[in-house]
Amino acid sequence: MFPEVAACSSVKAVQVLYENGDISPDLVEAAFQNAAQEISSDVLEFLYKTGCVGAESVRCAVLDAADRGDVYVVDCMINFGCVSRELLENAQSKYTSIRTRRTLLRACKSLPPTQG
């Protein structure tokens, strides 16, 4: 139920369920994936900040969003700090779809410059 709520509810509803239920990390990750597909940025941020969302789930959510050409979701995940330049650059080299590569490149350009 928790992943489904994350896909179609407000962040407040997800927060109440998370804080009052016994929600496993696996359910949080599934909810994160659902929220990414449904473009629920507040829910994405809340779930990420629980500390239960692993790097692989973030990678999958970013790549799925990029594959859909969903710049908004990728930008949201960049804004709350779960997407690294390395992830975006590695992903660009693995995709042949022009739309996906364009979305990833745009996202990479929106990151602050690296210090060197």
Place of tokens 């390395």: 86
Residue 29 lies in a domain: yes
Residue 50 lies in a domain: yes
pTM to 2 decimal places: 0.79
Full residue range of the structural domain in which residue 23 is found? 2-110
Residue 115 lies in a domain: no
Local confidence pLDDT in tens for the 116 residues of the chain? 788 887 777 888 899 999 998 899 999 999 999 888 887 888 999 999 999 999 899 988 888 888 887 888 888 888 888 888 788 877 777 766 787 778 878 888 877 776 44
Residue 36 lies in a domain: yes
Give the span between the Cα atoms of 30 and 69, in whole angstroms. 21
Domain count, the chain: 1
Q: Which two tokens stand for residue 26?
A: 């696996």
Residue 94 lies in a domain: yes
